[in-house]
């Protein structure tokens, strides 16, 4: 199983850079909340850096949340794509020139998502697809700790759409391997004048890191080198 550990977001004032797909994620989290008070409390916890490292894997995300002297563990789950839907997603990526380059650069083009949806595959979740659990004693589901984690997961997908695709069950490496098996990565590299496939991918990944820092200059960059 693929898993990616994302570092703790440092607290900061003001809003963070957002994208249309992270706004869609944020709406899903808001719709999942039962009470406005819990949602506001969850967002406040997220903004002040109470959420620890977030581990994103196939179909789930996990993170600790500090509140007072206690630390609670939140687990969230998102329905994974089945084999047919996953194959369809790969085909849609392969069918569009430059789509993998856009994903590697931290972009999730709206026409791409529309094409995925037209193929019958839902990439962005709706509120009913998200499930939550927390080690706290609150009876609300999701509780404020879960909403804090959900809020920060939205920040992750803003910077890296692969986090969303991974939660749907398809990791970055597996997607690239499937595209390479189809000849898509080589074709896109050749059309861009890149002789060495590894060089082309490395350049795209470096561009994604630069865009992530530009979107949030206060964020620690140790994980980007």
Taking only the tens place, the pLDDT of each residue in 142-178 is 999 999 999 999 999 998 999 999 999 999 999 999 9
* Joined tokens for residue 11: 């607290």
Rounded Cα–Cα distance for residues 210 and 213 (Å) = 5
Q: What is the pLDDT of residues 60-103, one digit of tens each?
A: 999 999 999 999 999 999 999 999 999 999 999 998 878 989 99
pLDDT value for 15: 53
Q: Give the C-alpha separation, 116 to 113, whole Å.
A: 5
Does residue 212 surpass a pLDDT of 60? no
Given this model, what pLDDT does residue 22 score?
Answer: 93
Edge to edge, the sheet with strand 54-57 lists: 3-6, 54-57, 60-67, 70-77, 131-134
pLDDT of residue 225: 36
CA distances from 136 to 61, 74, 139, 142, 154 (A): 17, 9, 9, 11, 22
pLDDT band at 16, cuts 50/70/90? low
Confidence check: pLDDT of 195 > 60: no
Q: What is the mean pLDDT of residues 178-191?
A: 66
pLDDT for the residue 161: 93
**Which two three-digit tokens encode residue 92?**
């849609």
Label residues 91-120 b or e (16+ Cβ within 10 Å = b): bbbbeeeebbbbbbbbbbbeebbebbeeee
pTM (2 d.p.): 0.79
Strand 3-6 and strand 60-67: the pairing is unpaired
At residue 80, the 3 state secondary structure works out as: coil
The two three-digit tokens of residue 217, written as one number = 């200059």
pLDDT for position 217: 45
């Amino acid at each position: 199983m693929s898993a990616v550990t994302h570092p703790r977001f440092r607290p900061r004032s003001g809003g963070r850079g957002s994208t249309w797909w992270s706004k869609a994620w944020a709406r899903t989290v808001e719709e999942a909340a039962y009470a406005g008070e819990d949602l506001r409390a969850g967002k406040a916890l997220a903004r002040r850096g109470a959420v620890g490292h977030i581990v994103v894997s196939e179909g789930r995300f996990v993170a600790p949340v500090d509140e007072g002297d206690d630390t609670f563990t939140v687990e969230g789950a998102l329905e994974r794509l089945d084999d047919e839907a996953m194959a369809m997603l790969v085909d849609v990526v392969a069918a569009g020139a430059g789509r993998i380059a856009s994903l590697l650069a931290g972009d999730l083009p709206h026409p791409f998502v529309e094409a995925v949806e037209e193929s019958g595959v839902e990439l962005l979740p709706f509120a009913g697809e998200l499930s939550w659990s927390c080690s706290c004693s609150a009876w609300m589901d999701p509780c404020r700790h879960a909403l804090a984690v959900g809020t920060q997961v939205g920040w992750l997908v803003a910077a890296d759409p692969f986090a969303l695709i991974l939660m749907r069950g398809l990791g970055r490496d597996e997607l690239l391997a499937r595209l390479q098996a189809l000849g898509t990565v080589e074709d896109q590299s050749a059309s861009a004048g890149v002789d060495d496939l590894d060089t082309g991918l490395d350049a795209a990944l470096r561009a994604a890191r630069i865009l992530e820092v530009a979107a949030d200059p206060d964020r620690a960059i140790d994980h980007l080198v």
